[in-house]
Structures are given as C-alpha cells and as structure tokens.
Structure 1
Amino acid sequence: MRVNFTIEGPPVGKARPRVTRKVTYTPKKTSQYEDLVRYTAINSFDGCFDHDEPVDVRIVAYFPIPKSWSKKRRQLCLINKELPIKRPDIDNVSKIIMDGMNPKMKRNKQLHRMVEVMRGIYHDDKQVTTLVVKKRYAERPRVEVRIKRDMGD
C-alpha cells in the first residue's frame, strides 16, 4: 500500500499553541494548513493504514527561490547546490504534515470525550517508524509526501 500526494503552495511550519487566561488554541493558519493536508491526503487515498501497521513517511518541502537572486544563484538552487536554510524549520514542517494526516478530533461535551470528525491516513502518527524530510528550492513551491507500509530493513 502506497500513497503519494502534493500540497501546492509554499511549505508552512507548525506554530505553537496560543494560551489565554481561559483557553489554549491552535493558530488559525496552522489548523487551516492541517485541514488542507488532510483533505489532499484523503482524496489521494481511499483507505486507511491499520492501527498496528508501521508506516514509512517521506516529505520533500520545495521552497520558492527569492526573486531578488541572480540567474546564476537561481540555477544553483535548481540543481540543489544551494539549499534553503530559512524558516520554517524542518521539524515544524514535518509536524504539520504528520498532524494533518491524523484524524481530525473534536471534544464532544455531552459524551465527555474526543470524537473523530474527519478520518485521516493513519490512526495516529505514533505509527510512523521511518521519517525522511528534505528542504529544497523549486520554481513551483509545494510539499510532496509519500507514505507506505514500513517493511523494515
């Protein structure tokens, strides 16, 4: 079983939760991007990985090349001689993608527990046993994700 999908647009990193006196919440940009990841992943894959199935995830985040850079420097970016060392951090990119592939949960106040609102690719990101994340430059910014069952080495 294998899933490939692409999220168009520049990569977004997972932001920290915000805390007020009364409530803790996820910033709107983060939750919207997680929903975009979930929607794209579900439309690329009809099933779901089993609870006990180990998963291998590969993520490549392609960042836009700054317009102010020279043609020579742009060419170096396209052949991967110059790599992006800018924000968002690679771990925040991987967190938002992996959390976006989890099912969307909401608290049901009547039942006093969390209920699934929208299914995900897997049941929880604890199933991920292999994770490879790369940052690259490209003319078309995007995030490419490949998920498959981890067979071990």
Structure 2
Amino acid sequence: MKVEFTIEGPPVGKARPRVTRTVTYTPARTARYEDLVRYTAINSFDGVFDKNDPIAVTIIAYFEIPKSWSKKRKALCLSGIELPTKKPDIDNISKIIMDGMNPKTKRNKQLHKMVEVMRGIYHDDKQVTTLLVKKRYSERPRVEVKVMKDLGDWSE
C-alpha cells in the first residue's frame, strides 16, 4: 500500500495551541491547513492503513525562490546547492502534515468522549516508524507527501 499526494501552495508550520482562561484551541490557520492535508490525502487514497501497520512517511516541502535574488543564486537554489533555512521549522512542517493525516475527531458532549468526524489515512501518527523531511526550493511552492507501509529497509 502506498499513498502519494501534493498540497499546492507554500508550506505551513503547525502553530502552538492557544490557551485562554476557559479553553485551549488550535489556531484557525493551522486547523484549515490540517483539513486541507486530510482532504487531499483521503482523495488520493481509498483505504486506511491497518492499526498495527508500521508506516514510513516522506515529506518534501518546496519553498518559492525570492524574486529579488539574482539568476545565479536562483540557479543554485534549483540545483539543490542552496537550501532554505527559513521558517517554518522542519519539525513544525512534519507535525502539521502528520496531524492532518490523522482522523478528525470532535468531543461529543452527550457521550462524553471523542468521536471521529472525518477519517484519516491511518489511525494515529504513532504508527509512523520512519520519517524523512526535506526543505527545498522550487519555482512552484508545494508539499509532496509519500506514505507507505514500513518494511524495515525502506529508503527514498
């Protein structure tokens, strides 16, 4: 089993949860991007990985090259010699993508428990045993994701 999908647009990092006196909530931008990831992943894959399947994930975040840079510097970026060292951080990119592939849950006040609102492509991101995340430059900003069953000797 293998899933590959692309999220168009600049990469977004997961923001910290916001805390008030009465409630803790996820910022709207983070929640929208997680929903976009979930929707894109579900439409690229019909099934769900089994609860006991170890999973390997590759995430490549492509950033747009700044327009003010010279042709020489742009060529270095496209050849992979110059790499992006800007925000969002690589760990925040991986968190938002992996949380976006989880099922969406909501607290049911009558049942006093969490219920699944929308399915994900796996049951929980604790199943991920191999994770490779890269940041690169490209003419077209996007995030490419590949998810497959981890066979132990998996590499890109």
TM-score (norm 1): 0.99
Aligned length: 153
Give the aligned partner of residue 22 of structure 1. Answer: 22
Write the mapping of 1:48-127 to structure 2, written as runs, cut at 5 A: 48-127=48-127
The residue identity in structure 2 corresponding to 1:6 is T
**DSSP 3-state at the match of 1:40:** helix
Structure 1 residue runs of 5 or longer lacking an equivalent are none
In the alignment, the residues of structure 1 paired with residue 151 and residue 89 of structure 2 have an alpha-carbon distance, to the nearest angstrom, of 29
**DSSP 3-state at the match of 1:92:** helix
Structure 2 residue runs of 5 or longer lacking an equivalent are none
**DSSP 3-state at the match of 1:73:** helix
Residue 147 of structure 1 deviates from its aligned partner by: 0.4
**DSSP 3-state at the match of 1:97:** helix
TM-score (norm 2): 0.98
**DSSP 3-state at the match of 2:14:** coil
Identity of aligned residues (%): 78
In the alignment, the residues of structure 1 paired with residue 107 and residue 74 of structure 2 have an alpha-carbon distance, to the nearest angstrom, of 47
In the alignment, the residues of structure 2 paired with residue 147 and residue 21 of structure 1 have an alpha-carbon distance, to the nearest angstrom, of 39
Residue 148 of structure 1 deviates from its aligned partner by: 0.4
The residue identity in structure 2 corresponding to 1:116 is E
CA deviations over 1:38-63 (Å, ceiling 9, x no partner) = 00000000000000000000000000
Moved over 2 A (4+): none
RMSD between aligned alpha carbons?
0.4
In the alignment, the residues of structure 2 paired with residue 46 and residue 29 of structure 1 have an alpha-carbon distance, to the nearest angstrom, of 27
The residue identity in structure 2 corresponding to 1:28 is A
